[in-house]
Amino acid sequence: IISCEDTPMQREILAKMKGGIERAGLAKSATFLFSMPFEKLYKYLPACDIGLVPYPDFEMNVVVAKAYDCIAAGLPIAVKAIGNSSEISHFVESNGVGFVSRDWPEFNAKFSKMLSKKLPARAKIAKAAKKYTREGGARAVLLQIENLLAKK
């Protein structure tokens, strides 16, 4: 488990996760790295098995950078988001890079299922990441702006 933030809320969440992992008897299977600087994250992601993107308290109408970081490393992602969260849902489902759940019981069931079966090939997931580069995103935004200006 890699934490990139050092906020009180994140420390509380990670402490609960660590306690749950210990109660499940999986402490030897999990490693916690706290306050990992973002610029060093790429060195550690390949050692992970799954990328967790847990945003339980608000809708995400964007695809968060964490999701891109994880799939670039070939990690399937497990996303917890409420409500519609259409962008992240569409991204995950259309690229087959993991799952999105709207509530914790569903998330826990899907996450357990993900852990119990063979994970998708990292190369397949990393290939999906190549479609989503910063340059490609910039070109898409530029095209939208050009289209809007052409309509005026």
Residues 137 and 130: their CA atoms lie apart, in Å, by 11
pLDDT computed for residue 3 by the predictor: 66
pLDDT computed for residue 146 by the predictor: 92
pLDDT computed for residue 58 by the predictor: 61
As given in the structure block, the two tokens for residue 68 are: 């891109």
By three-state DSSP, how is residue 55 classified?
A: strand
Residue type, 101: S
By three-state DSSP, how is residue 51 classified?
A: strand
pLDDT in tens, the chain (152 residues): 776 667 787 778 778 878 888 888 878 878 877 777 778 888 888 888 888 887 656 666 667 778 888 888 899 998 888 766 678 888 888 888 999 888 888 888 888 888 877 877 888 888 888 777 767 777 878 888 999 898 87
**pTM, to two decimals:** 0.72
As given in the structure block, the two tokens for residue 65 are: 């950078």
- Tell me 140's DSSP state: H
Counting Cα atoms < 13 Å in the Cβ hemisphere of 55 gives 21
